[in-house]
């Protein structure tokens, strides 16, 4: 009995069909055939003896790939490019003699890798824009709502819920800019020959360097790239791979930061990721609402972050014009990195589509901690009324510890204000003290900062790319 094969969970559970297709065999080998056609057309245009019939036969068979035959030939030849040349030539026999003319394996392999990465980056950017749009709404809607700030995960000066969302959004803005920059400058390998010298093409064109240069320019333009690398070995420098994966790593860092923050906030019930009607939090504890989505984010982010070391090692260990020890590694690492980035941003979009902000819980937490934060203002107001600063400081210190002990013992509310209002050494009555305890007085410029950030940095981008931002809610496979 034949056992079932292992299924990559990035494809079966987490990433989208769109990203899976970009790195699929079907797309890869169709792209190889398109590149062979582009090369033959350009060579014909520049005067090589290639017929219209050969070109047309190639064009008619760009998509009908016999994968079984290709696998058979690769097993025989132990060379994937040669196997697919034979497979293409089988259905385009008149063109067999000119398929891959003058080229080396890296012509189809490397150029296709760059095409796939460029397409993948475009999809990642689209995913980013969706999440940025979601976070923009959250930041705007809650820009005035006070919440506890945390430093060292200890209660600190108040911020707002919207300001915190803006911090998450700012991380994604940095990622967006990095991806946009990379998309604008990622080059093609182009038509460079066996060791990058273009010697084979110079031979084909009888030493005419201008035609060889034109061939590279024509092919690269038809591939959809603004330029190719001027200098290559047999392959393009693997530092480009490292550059790409490090940008994806930055996306993973942003996702992990958000995921961990949300897990902590969900512990305190201040914010919650979506929880569906029939969703089960625990097989044993039926009451639980585990932060499954944000935990998945941090798990996948950890994996993607680790991949960036891999591409750095690969770039660092290439010998001279090329070695083949990169090939098997890159077949795994590059698609996995893009599939993981895609999965992360789909989860991020799903969470922010239905993020729940529990305002009453947040207000209660602020009320519990605000008296401690207000003590400096109480001290200053007391001094203004003639009290001794050092004496009042000591009074506040003693009562603060007493109040904290009461909270630790399970007090329903923070008793610090009661202690201070009832002590005659404090020259402020309860009403005066309570007037100091207005949360909105402790959030500084947070609302204005959010408004300025959205108006000046986020809205121009979202307006520019409005046509590609998906307004539909994202559903996860599992």
In sequence order, the β-bridge partners of residue 271 are: 357
DSSP 72-133: HHHHHHS-HHHHHHHHHHHHSGGGTTTTTTT--HHHHHHHHHHHHHHHHHHHHHHHHHHHHH
Q: 102-135: string of b/e by CB count within 10 Å (b at 16+)?
A: bbbbbbbbbbbbbbbbbbbbebbbbbbbbbbbbb
* Helix/strand/coil for 366: helix
Angle between helices 359-384 and 389-408 (to 10 degrees): 160
pTM of the model: 0.92
Task: Write the CA distances from 290 to 267, 279, 305, integer angstroms.
Answer: 9, 10, 24
Domain with CATH 1.10.275.10 in the chain: 16-95
Q: 334-373: string of b/e by CB count within 10 Å (b at 16+)?
A: bbbbbbbbbbbbbbbbbbbeebebbeebbeebbebbbbbb
Residue 478 — pLDDT band, cuts 50, 70, 90? Answer: confident
Q: Provide, rounded to the nearest whole percent, the portion of the chain with pLDDT above 90.
A: 87
Residue 470 — pLDDT band, cuts 50, 70, 90? Answer: confident
Alpha-helix residue ranges (DSSP H) falling in 190-291: 199-204, 209-223, 239-267
Angle between helices 292-316 and 239-267 (to 10 degrees): 160
* Helix/strand/coil for 456: helix
Angle between helices 209-223 and 25-45 (to 10 degrees): 140
Rounded CA gap, 263 and 275, in Å? Answer: 14
Smallest CA-to-CA distance from 367 within 437, 445, 419 is with 437
CA angle 338, 339, 345 (to 5 degrees): 90
For residue range 260-319, what is the model confidence (pLDDT) as tens digits? 999 999 999 999 998 766 655 555 565 557 889 999 999 999 999 999 999 999 999 999
Rounded CA gap, 148 and 364, in Å? Answer: 10
Architecture of the domain made up of 361-442? Orthogonal Bundle (1.10)
Rounded CA gap, 220 and 111, in Å? Answer: 9
Alpha-helix residue ranges (DSSP H) falling in 317-388: 327-353, 359-384
Residue 279 confidence (pLDDT): 59
Cβ atoms 147, 164 nearer than 8 A: yes
Q: Which residue has the higher pLDDT, 1 or 23?
A: 23
Residue 156 confidence (pLDDT): 86
Task: Write the CA distances from 75 to 6, 24, 217, 330, 436, integer angstroms.
Answer: 21, 20, 35, 20, 79
Rounded CA gap, 195 and 356, in Å? Answer: 57
Architecture of the domain made up of 16-95? Orthogonal Bundle (1.10)
Rounded CA gap, 191 and 219, in Å? Answer: 7
Phi then psi for residue 207, to 5 deg, are 80, 10
Rounded CA gap, 156 and 270, in Å? Answer: 16
For residue range 58-84, what is the model confidence (pLDDT) as tens digits? 999 999 999 999 999 999 999 999 999
For residue range 30-65, what is the model confidence (pLDDT) as tens digits? 999 999 999 999 999 999 999 999 999 999 999 999
Phi then psi for residue 461, to 5 deg, are -70, -50
The number of CA neighbours under 13 Å toward the Cβ of 270 is 19
Residue 1 — pLDDT band, cuts 50, 70, 90? Answer: very low
| Mean pLDDT of the region 234-262 | 97
Long-range contacts of 259-267 (CB under 8 A, 24+ apart): 259/294, 259/295, 259/297, 259/298, 259/301, 260/294, 260/298, 261/164, 261/168, 262/291, 262/294, 262/351, 263/291, 263/294, 263/295, 263/298, 264/153, 266/291, 266/294
Residues forming the active site: 152, 282
Domain with CATH 1.10.40.30 in the chain: 361-442
Cβ atoms 416, 433 nearer than 8 A: no
Rounded CA gap, 135 and 142, in Å? Answer: 11
For residue range 93-131, what is the model confidence (pLDDT) as tens digits? 999 999 999 999 999 999 999 999 999 999 999 999 999
Please name the helix (run of DSSP H) or strand (run of DSSP E) that holds residue 150, with its range, or none.
strand 146-151
Q: Work out the end-to-end distance of the chain between its first and last CA atoms, rounded to an integer number of angstroms.
A: 29
Residue 275 confidence (pLDDT): 78
**Going by C-beta distance under 8 Å and a sequence separation of 6 or more, which residues neighbour residue 210?**
none
Please name the helix (run of DSSP H) or strand (run of DSSP E) that holds residue 149, with its range, or none.
strand 146-151
């Amino acid at each position: 009995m034949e056992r079932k094969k292992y299924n990559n969970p990035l494809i079966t559970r987490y990433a989208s069909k769109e990203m899976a297709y970009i790195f699929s065999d079907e797309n890869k080998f169709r792209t190889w055939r398109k590149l062979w056609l582009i090369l033959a057309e350009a060579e014909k245009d520049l005067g090589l003896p290639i017929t219209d019939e050969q070109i047309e036969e190639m064009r008619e068979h760009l998509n009908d790939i016999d994968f079984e035959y290709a696998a058979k030939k690769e097993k025989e030849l132990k060379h994937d490019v040669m196997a697919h040349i034979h497979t293409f030539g089988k259905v385009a026999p008149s063109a067999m003699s000119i398929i891959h003319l003058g080229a080396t394996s890296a012509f189809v392999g490397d150029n296709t890798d760059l095409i796939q990465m460029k397409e993948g980056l475009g999809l990642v950017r689209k995913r980013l824009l969706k999440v940025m749009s979601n976070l923009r709404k959250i930041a705007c809607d809650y820009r005035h709502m006070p919440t506890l700030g945390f430093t060292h995960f200890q209660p600190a000066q108040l911020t707002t819920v919207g300001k915190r969302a803006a911090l998450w959004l700012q991380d994604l803005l940095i990622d967006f800019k990095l991806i946009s920059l990379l998309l604008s400058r990622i080059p093609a390998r182009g038509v460079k020959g066996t060791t990058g010298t273009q010697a084979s093409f110079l031979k084909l064109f009888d030493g005419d360097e201008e035609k060889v240069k034109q061939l590279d320019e024509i092919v690269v333009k038809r591939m959809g790239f603004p330029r190719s690398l001027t200098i290559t070995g047999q392959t393009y420098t693997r530092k480009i791979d490292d550059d790409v994966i490090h940008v994806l790593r930055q996306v993973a860092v942003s996702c992990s930061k958000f995921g961990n923050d949300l897990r902590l906030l969900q512990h305190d019930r201040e914010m919650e990721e979506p929880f569906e009607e029939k969703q089960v939090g625990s097989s044993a504890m039926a009451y639980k609402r585990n932060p499954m989505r944000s935990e998945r984010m941090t798990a996948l982010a950890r994996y993607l972050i680790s991949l960036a070391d891999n591409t750095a090692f690969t770039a660092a260990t290439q010998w001279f014009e090329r070695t083949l020890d990169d090939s098997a590694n890159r077949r795994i690492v590059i698609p996995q990195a893009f599939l993981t980035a895609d999965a992360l941003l789909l989860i991020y979009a799903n969470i922010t589509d239905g993020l729940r902000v529990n305002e009453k819980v947040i207000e209660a937490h602020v009320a519990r901690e605000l008296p401690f934060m207000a003590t400096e203002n109480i001290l200053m107001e007391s001094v203004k009324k003639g009290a001794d600063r050092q004496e009042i400081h000591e009074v506040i210190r003693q009562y603060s510890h007493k109040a904290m002990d009461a909270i630790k013992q399970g007090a329903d509310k923070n008793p610090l204000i009661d202690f201070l209002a009832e002590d005659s050494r404090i020259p402020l009555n309860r009403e005066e003290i309570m007037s100091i305890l207005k949360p909105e007085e402790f959030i500084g410029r947070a609302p204005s900062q959010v408004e300025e950030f959205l108006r000046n940095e986020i809205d121009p981008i979202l307006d520019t790319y409005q046509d590609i931002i998906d307004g539909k809610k994202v559903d996860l496979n599992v």
